Amino acid sequence: MSKRYILYSVAYIALVAAIAFYFSSQNFTIQAFGYELTLPVAAWCVLPVAIFALLSVLHMMFYGFKHYLDSRALKSDMESFESFAKESFLGLESNKEFKTPLYTSAVSVLRALNPLNSFGSPSFKNEGLQAAYETFTKVRNGEVVDLKSFRLPKTNALFIQNEINKAKTDVKHAISLLSSKDELPSALLDAAKKNAVANADYNLLSKTRVKFDFNDICVLLERLGQKQIQIAGDELLSLLKTEGLSSENYLRFAKILKKRISPDMLINIFKKLRLELPIASEACFYLLYDLQMIDELRELLNACEGERFERIEVLLFLRDHGKMEKADLIYNL
């Protein structure tokens, strides 16, 4: 491109000189600061064009040489980057230096994302990149960050993790998520539920879409016993009727509740449960034995045709033979 430019410039200068000489072959003198310079008119016409052409050629040569140096540095950085990336993933210290801004930023990012994190906290010259890295690090470490300036979509992984962090620490936010009708990631719902079950008021919690499992109910019953929450009798019965529970689960609930609510209320709840959910029968019998309501226990056992409760029968057998034992000796819950 520069060779063509020089060729065309020379041709243009020659053309201007020929035209000027054609119209005037005379000389023209310029006097300045006591000096005189006499040149043909054609030369005076060509001189500015020639100077401009020379300067433009020098300009092109300068930036051409600069481009050559930049390309050389870029090629050198490119050859070093793959080796640096390999060393980074292996957690090795690297003494490689990079000259171009492109690879300097890329190296800082790679160090920040290194799986072994053996390079410390990187520093970016670009303010936006630095802000993004600091935000990413805080969210990864469990902090809650204001992400409005980044305008992330709700499906973005960083946005979701930030919401999870907030759901773990802010009970009101957890309840808000559980009350939302939007489709939310399961990990976010789980984090919100765990915090809400452990800390929220049961009246608020019961109005959400949350579905309790065995562990959730255990936490709620422990909180009920510690008087951190209040659950009315009907609400407690409804809670214990949650689907998907096993006989052992109900035995565990019975053991938690027997030291935390009044015996009359407890027995009434489990009698109702037994009538609606036969799977809760053994838990009811366990409580009757523990409270030494033996006659009623025997009556209910006799009414269970074709169904045996071996652990209860063993306890009754021992009691009948003068070796009265606590129910928890056999029910190791």
% of the chain surpassing 70 pLDDT: 83
Find out whether 275 and 255 touch, Cβ atoms under 8 Å: no
Give the pLDDT of residue 22.
73
Average pLDDT over residues 269-295: 92
Q: Which pLDDT score is estimated for 321? A: 83
pTM: 0.67
Q: What is the mean pLDDT of residues 47-71?
A: 78
The lowest-confidence range among 13-22, 47-56, 107-116, 312-321 is 107-116
Tell me whether strands 27-32 and 35-40 are parallel, antiparallel or unpaired. Answer: antiparallel
Region 118-144: mean pLDDT is 78
Instruction: Using the predicted structure, report yes or no on whether residue 152 has a pLDDT greater than 80.
Output: yes
Residue with tokens 């053996």: 118
Domain extents in the chain: 1-94, 126-210, 211-333
What Rg value do the Cα atoms of the chain yield, rounded?
Answer: 43
303-328: burial string, b at 16+ Cβ within 10 Å, e else: eeeeeebebbeebbeeeeeeeeeebe
DSSP assigned state of 57: H
Model pLDDT, residue 331: 83
| Average pLDDT score, the chain | 82
Check: CB of residue 102 under 8 Å from CB of residue 71.
Answer: no
The pLDDT value recorded for residue 163 is: 94
pLDDT band at 288 (very low <50, low <70, confident <90, very high): very high
Output 273 or 94, whichever has higher pLDDT. 273
Give the model's confidence band at 92: pLDDT under 50 very low, under 70 low, under 90 confident, else very high.
low
